[in-house]
Amino acid sequence: MSAVVKVWIDDGCITCDACENICPEVFHVEDDSCVIVDGVNPSEWGDDIIEAADACPVDVILFEVAGGDETTEGEAPAEVAVEAPATAPAAAAEPVGDGALDAVMAGDRDLHILFGSQSGNAEGLCSMIAKKAADYGLVGHVHDMDGFDLGRMAGMKRILIACSTWGEGEQPDNAEELYIAAKGSGKILSNTHFSICALGDTSYEFFCQSGKEWDEVLETMGGTRIQDRVDCDVDYDAPAGIWMAEALSRIACVDDSGTFQEDLVAEMMAHAAGDSASASSGDVAIVAMPEIQLLANIFRYDADTGETGSDAWAFSIPGHYSVLDLLRTLKATQDGSLTFRDGAVDDPTTGVCVNGRLVLPGMTRLCDVVRDKGDGAQIRIEPVAAYDVIRDLVVDYSSYDNLRAASKPWFVGGQREGTFAGTEVIGTMDAVVSTELHASNDIASPQLLHATSDAVPYNRSYMGPAIVSHLWNRSCDPRISDKSRTAIIEALADTNGVKSETDIASIHRQGSMGANAAKSVLQAKTAVLSHDGYNGRHGKHVWWYTWSIKSSGKVNETTLYRTVLGPMGLASNALSGVSARMIFGFTRTGRPMFNELLGMVAPPAGIGKMPKQFNSAVENHHEVISIFNEMDGRF
Amino acid sequence: MPTRYAYHPGNVAHSNAIEVADTMPLAAESLGIELVPLDGATSCGAGIIRQANADLQVVLNARTLAQAEAMGLDIITPCATTAATLHEDLTSLRTNGKLMAKTNDILERNCGLTLTGEVNVHHILHVIVDELGIDKVKSAVKNTFEFKIAGYYGPNIQQEGACGGDDVFDPDYLEQVIAAVGGKPVEWSSRTHSVGVPGIFSEEKTVMKQTAAVLADAKSEGAQLVVSACNLSHMLLDVYQGKAGKTTGQATKVPTIHLTELLAFAFGHHIDRLAQLRTRVLVIGD
C-alpha cells in the first residue's frame, strides 16, 4: 500500500462526489466542497486516496507521501488543452553512474509474464516480451494462466500480463479460473510491481474488459502499477510495442529487494537501446531511438457537423516509431474516432502533412520530423492540402484519379530496331536513358506528389506535377510511338497542362521525389514552349524575360508588361489598382514615386530619354551577349 | 571588423522593388556588413530563363558566381528567389563534373573566368541569424515595431541546403528577427507557400488565388504587417493585393514591406518612412 501521510482539499472543488464514491472513509462531500472526514488516518487508505485523486476532475485532492513529497495529480498546462501525459517523461530522469545500474541488475532478475489468450495473440505477445526482456537484463518466464497457482504470485517482484477479451467482456477460457481466484484472494501482493496490456476490439461494447479487470484486481491484491495499462484495438502491434518498451524499461528498474529505482529508467532505456541497436527485427534492422516526450496536434474534421479544429495529446513514445505508429497508438489509446488511412508502410494513399512536410506516415520516423523550438517536441499532422477532406486526415483522391484517367496514361508502343539475342529479336534501350527513366519514375506516391504543387489547390483543372511527370517521362521513353509522343506533348501544352504550374520551387522542396518531379516539369515546360513557338502569355513571358537579360543583364519589367500583357492586360491592371500601386510606390512608405511610371510611359515611345533604371546594363555586358550568342541563337 | 560580402541586390531591386535597393545598404551598414558591389551580375533568371534554356541559365549564374569567387567573397542577397536560384545552380555544378567542365569552358572563352565552386550564396536572413547572431540585431535597434507581424519566407529559400541552419518546413529565423525588433511574430501556416510569381502573367487567376490565400491567412491570424524575405513575392503581395482581394472576395489588404525595410527602419534609417508605416498600420489599418 502507498504510504500517504497527509491529505487535504484545495480550492475549486465542484462537489462531483467521485472521491466519496471511491473512499467514503476519507472523503465527505458537502454542499460547497469536499472535506476530509475528521479523525481519519490517511495511511490506512493510501491507495484509495491516490485513486480518488486520480479520479478528481479538477485535481483538488492533494496528498503527501512518506518522505515529504507533495503531489498533485493530473496537472496539464493551463494554456494548452491536452490529455495528461500517459507516462512520466522518462528521458528527463537524470542518468546515474554505471555502478547503480549494475547494482539494480544484480540478484533476482525474474520477470513473470502471464497470458490470458483465446486466439493466441496474447500468448504470442508474451513470447515476444520474454525475448525482449533479455535486453533489459531480465529473465522472462511465460506462464499460461490456465492451471497457474495463484499463491506463486505472492513471491513475484515483477509481473506483466497480456490478456484478451472474449465475447461480451468475458475472460478468455484459460484465464477465467485464475481471475475468480484472484478476486477473492485479498491483499497477497506486498512487494510486486505489475503492468497490463489489454487486447480487444473497439467494435464490441466491453472493449478490453478483461485487461481492465486484471488491472483492477492486481491493484486490489496490493500490487503496485509500474506502468499504465494500454488498451489495444485489433491492430495492436504499435500500441503494444510502445507499452512493452515503456513497461520493460521501468519494471527492469525494480531491484533485488523489490524497490523501484525510478532514477535509473533513462539509463536502463539507453542500455536496452544499445543492446538492441544492432539486433534485427525480421529482415530489417531497427535502430532504437530514445523516447520523445511529444505534444501531438492533429487536425480534426467532422463531415456530419462541418466542424474543423484540432486535438492535442501529450505522451511519451520511442523516437524510432513511425508517424503511422503514432496515429495507430492515438486511435487505440486516446480517441477511437480518429480517422486516417491505414495500410502498409509504403501504401501511396496514406500520405499526410507533418509539420509542413508531405510524407508517407509509415515510412517516416518521428525523430526525423518532430520539431523542438525550446518549448518541447511537437508534431502537427494535417491532411494534404490539394484534396477535399472526408474526415480528419482522410482525403478524397477522386479529383486526382479523374485527372489521371483523362490524361490517357497508358503506353502506346511503336516499331523500333531490335537486337538478336540468341533465339529472338528483342528491343534494347541505351543504359543511360534507361537509368534516367527509372530514376524519374521513382515516385513513392503520385497522390502525394500531386499535392506538392501550391497551384493545385487553386486550379483543380490543372493536371498537377504527378501526371505531368508521368506523361513527360513516357514521352521520353524510346519505345513509345511517334503518334503517342506527339499526343502527349499536345496534352501537356493544353490549357490545363504544364503551363498551369505557377511555381516549380514548391515541388522542388519536397524531398527527392519533389526534386525529380520538378526536373521533369521544367523539361516538359521547355518542350511545350518550343512546341507552341513561345506564343501566348506564358511563351511571351519566358521569351521576353530571357531577351531582356540578353539586352542588359537585368530584367526589364516595362518590356514584360507591355509585350506579355498587351493593352487588355494593362487596362486590367490600371482598373484594379495594380498600376497605381506601382506608380506611387507600392510599399506606401515614402519611397520615390513615379519610378515605374517613367518606365510605363517613356520607352519605347521615343519621347525623351529612357529612364536610367531601364537602360542601364551590367558591367561587362558584352560577355553576356557573347554567352547568349554561343548557347542560344534564338535570342 | 566588418563582414564582407559580394552584393547581389536580386531581381527587380533596380526598378519595381527600388525600396529594397534603398534599404539593404543601410541595414547592412548598421549590422556591420560591408557590401562589395557585384556590378557584373545578371538576373538569376528567377525560374524563367531556364524554361527556355536550362543550360543557359546555369552558365549565366556561373558567371555571377565566378565573379564573386574572383573577389574572394561569398554572395549576399536580400532576394529569396536569387539566393535559391544561385544556390540550386551552384549545387548542380558542384555535383555534376561534366556540367562544371562544360560551363567553365564557355566561361573561360567568353569571360576569362573560371568557377571552382568554393563560393557560397547567402540570403541576408541567414547571415543575420547564422553568422552575426540575433543579438546583433537587438543591439542595433533604435525604433521598435510593436505590431503583430507575419514573416513570409516563400518556397524558394526553404529548400534543403538553401536555408542556412533554419528548418526547411517549419522555419523560425524571420520570427526571431521580428521579435528582435520588438514585433510580435504571428504563427501562420502559409508562410512558406508560393504566391506563384513565375505565373503572374500567364496564370493570373490562379496566382491571384494563391496570393489572396497567403494574405488572408496572415490577416486571419491577426497580422498587422507582412514582412517578405523575397523581392518578387514582396511585389506580388503588395502591388497585387487589391486585385487578389477583388478576384477572390477575400480580405487581403495589409501593409507589406520587405525584410530590409523592416531592418533599416528599426535601425533608425528613413524615420519619415517609418512614421508613414506606423500611421498606415496603427491608424489607417487595412
Task: State whether A357 and B169 contact (CB < 8 Å).
Answer: yes
**Which range among A93-102, A407-416, A513-522, A573-582 shows the weakest confidence by mean pLDDT?**
A93-102
Q: How far is CA A291 from the centre of its chain?
A: 15
| A616–B contact, CB cutoff 8 A | yes
Residues 6+ apart with CB under 8 A from B32: B1, B2, B3, B132, B136
User: Residue A502 and residue B22: Cβ atoms within 8 Å?
Assistant: no
Residues of B in contact with A359 (CB under 8 A): none
Give the whole-number percent of chain B exceeding pLDDT 70: 97
Picking from B56, B84, B155, the nearest residue to A632 by CB comes out as B56
Q: Choose the closest CB to B19 out of A371, A509, A589.
A: A589
| A495 and B CB contact within 8 Å | no
Query: Could you report the per-residue pLDDT of B41-86, keeping only the tens digit for each?
Result: 999 998 899 999 999 999 999 999 999 999 999 999 999 999 999 9
0.80 exceeded by the pTM? Answer: no
Question: Which residues of chain B neighbour A550 with C-beta distances below 8 Å?
Answer: none
Q: Does B21 touch chain A (CB under 8 A)?
A: no
Inter-chain touch B60–A462, beta carbons under 8 Å: no
- Cβ separation of A526 and B51 shorter than 8 Å? yes
Question: Residue A465 corresponds to which amino acid?
Answer: P
Angle ∠(A585,A591,A592) on CA atoms, nearest 5: 80
Chain A contact present for B259, CB below 8 A: no
Contact (CB<8Å) A619/B56? no
Give B-chain residues touching A500 at CB under 8 angstroms: 203, 206
pLDDT of residue B226: 96
Q: Does B61 touch chain A (CB under 8 A)?
A: no
**Residue A297 sits at the chain B interface (C-beta within 8 Å):** no
Report the chain B residue with the minimal C-alpha distance to residue A460.
B206
Q: CA A531, CA A509: separation in Å to the nearest integer?
A: 28
- Closest alpha carbon within chain A to B40: A619
Confidence of residue B261 (pLDDT cuts 50, 70, 90): very high
State pLDDT tens for residues A264-303: 888 888 787 664 443 334 444 567 778 889 999 999 999 8
In degrees rounded to 5, what are phi and psi of residue A357?
A: -105, 130
Query: Quick check: A625 contacting B, CB < 8 Å?
Result: no
| Average pLDDT for A108-129 | 88
Residue of A521, A562, A586 best to disrupt the B interface, most CBs of B under 10 A: A586
pLDDT digits (tens, 9 = 90+) for A138-148: 988 888 898 88
What φ, ψ does residue A196 adopt, rounded to 5°?
-125, 135
> Is A371 in contact with B170 (Cβ distance < 8 A)?
yes
Mutation pick from B15, B197, B256, B282 vs chain A, by most beta carbons of A within 10 Å, is: B15
Q: Dihedral (C-alpha) A579, A584, A588, A590: value to the nearest 10 degrees?
A: 160
B207 touches chain A (CB under 8 A): yes
Long-range contacts, A271-274 (Cβ 8 Å, 24+): A271/A101, A271/A136, A271/A137, A272/A135, A272/A136, A272/A248
Name all domains of chain B by residue range, CATH numbers in brackets.
3-123 (1.20.1050.140), 133-284 (3.40.50.11810)
Tell me which DSSP letter residue A203 carries. Answer: T
- To test the contact with chain B by mutation, choose from A373, A379, A589, A594 the residue with the greatest count of B C-beta atoms within 10 A, namely A589
The pLDDT of residue A585 is 57
- Residue A615 touches chain B, beta carbons under 8 Å: no
Sorted by sequence, the CB contacts under 8 Å of residue A568 that are 6+ apart come out as none
Instruction: Indicate if the pLDDT at residue A404 is higher than 80.
Output: yes
A577 touches chain B (CB under 8 A): yes
Size of interface A-B (CB pairs under 8 A): 235
Residue of A nearest to B200 (CA): A502
| d(C-alpha B47, C-alpha B81), whole Å | 8
Orientation of helix A482-493 relative to helix A511-531, angle to 10°: 100
Confidence of residue A79 (pLDDT cuts 50, 70, 90): very low
User: Model confidence over A431-489: pLDDT tens digits?
Assistant: 788 888 888 888 889 999 999 999 999 999 999 999 999 999 999 988 888 899 999 99
Predicted local distance difference test score (pLDDT) of residue A282: 41
What residues form DSSP beta bridges with A163? Answer: A116, A198
Please report the pLDDT score of residue B286 as a whole number.
65
Q: Within 13 A of B135's CA, how many CA atoms are on the CB side?
A: 0
Q: Report the pLDDT averaged over residues B116-145.
A: 96
pLDDT at A612 over 80: no
Q: Is the pLDDT of residue A601 over 80?
A: no
Q: Tell me the three cell numbers of residue A149.
A: 497457482
pLDDT of residue A69: 45
Contacts of A545 in chain B (CB under 8 A): 46, 48-49
**Which ipTM score applies to this complex?**
0.95
| B132 contacts chain A (CB < 8 A) | no
> What domains can you pick out in chain A, each with its CATH number?
4-75 (3.30.70.20), 98-284 (3.40.50.360), 291-395 (3.10.20.30), 397-531 (1.10.1060.10), 539-631 (no CATH)
Q: Is the Cβ pair A458, B209 closer than 8 Å?
A: yes
